[in-house]
Amino acid sequence: MKPELAALAQRVKGFMPHNEGLALYRAGAEVAALGSLVEIGSYCGKSAVYLGAAAAEAGSVLFTIDHHHGSEEMQAGWEHHDAELVDPRTGLMDSLPVLRQTISEAGLDDTVVPIVGDSVTVASHFGAAALVFIDGGHGTAPAHADYEAWSPKVRPGGLLAIHDVFADPADGGRPPYEIWLRALEDGFVEHAAEGSLRVMRR
């Protein structure tokens, strides 16, 4: 990964440790020649810089999907709330302006295509992908819905990545771990692991 992009990714607000971001970049780079990359959960674009860097090198694209109003745990009063991301006109969270700024600073405007909307709605109109990265809503219903809607989109030979997979409940919530187990049961094969990132091959 180009050092300037690696440095930028580390400055962007978000939830992706650098070692896990680099593992995501490697996964993207491996399969980007097969087709497009898809990310569920753009937030401010941190992980999109890692995946976008991989897509750009292969002449592919990254579709990054988010409604930009934040997950449950990002709303006011919750653990991951960031008051700077509240739109004063609506009182709602809006991370889209920061995402646009990140993509433009990274020079990835031609590579990273933001899609603003609900991930399952988008999935129902979406074709196949070389890589799908699931990092959207982390509650039981949203995580399982993302798995059901998006895992079938991974091309044979492509990769499914899931973030925040914690085997020990003391380290974090269950749903990402549950959908990782489901993927293995459904025949995805373990490919790489770094921190809480799991990558599987279809």
Q: For ligand SAH, which residue of 46, 153, 201, 202 counts as binding (CB under 6 A)?
A: 46
Annotated catalytic residue within 138, 144, 163, 191: 138
Which partner, Mg ion, ligand SAH, none, binds residue 176 by CB below 5 to 8 Å per kind? none
Beta strand spans in 59-107 (E)? 62-66
From candidates 6, 13, 15, 128, binder to Mg ion by CB under 5 A: 15
Active site residue 81: no
Residue 63 near residue 111, CB atoms below 8 Å: no
Residue 14 in the binding site for ligand SAH (CB under 6 A): yes
Q: Per DSSP, what are the bridge partners of residue 134?
A: 40, 162
* Residue 163 interacts with Mg ion (CB under 5 A): yes or no: yes
Angle between helices 3-11 and 46-58 (to 10 degrees): 160
Among 119, 154, 175, 183, binds ligand SAH (CB under 6 A): 119
Residue 164 sits in the site that holds ligand SAH (CB under 6 A): no
How far lies 96's CA from each of 68, 87, 102, 190, in Å?
6, 10, 10, 33
Annotated catalytic sites, by residue? 138
